[in-house]
Amino acid sequence: MIDPQLIPQVAARFKALSDEGRLALLSALQRGEKSVGELAEATGRSQPNVSQHLASLTHAGLVEARRDGTRVFYRIADPTVLRICDAVCDSLAARAREERRQTIESRRRRRAGGER
Same domain, 109 and 62: no
How far is CA 48 from its chain centroid?
Answer: 20
Looking at the fold, whether 63 and 92 belong to one and the same domain comes out as no
* Among the listed residues 60, 67, 64, the one whose alpha carbon sits nearest the alpha carbon of residue 75: 64
115 pLDDT band (50/70/90 cuts)?
Answer: low
Summarize the confidence of residues 100-106 as an average pLDDT: 92
Does 71 share its domain with 86?
no
Residues 66 and 10 in one domain: yes
Shared-domain flag, residues 73 and 93 = no
Which pLDDT tens digit goes with each residue over 11-35? 999 999 999 999 999 999 999 999 9
Same domain for 53 and 42: yes
Give residue 2's pLDDT.
86
Same domain, 65 and 95: no
Per residue in 33-42, pLDDT tens? 999 999 999 9
Q: Which residues are within 8 A (CB) of 43 and not within 5 positions of it... i.e. 6 or more apart? A: 21, 24, 25, 28, 50
Average pLDDT, the chain: 93
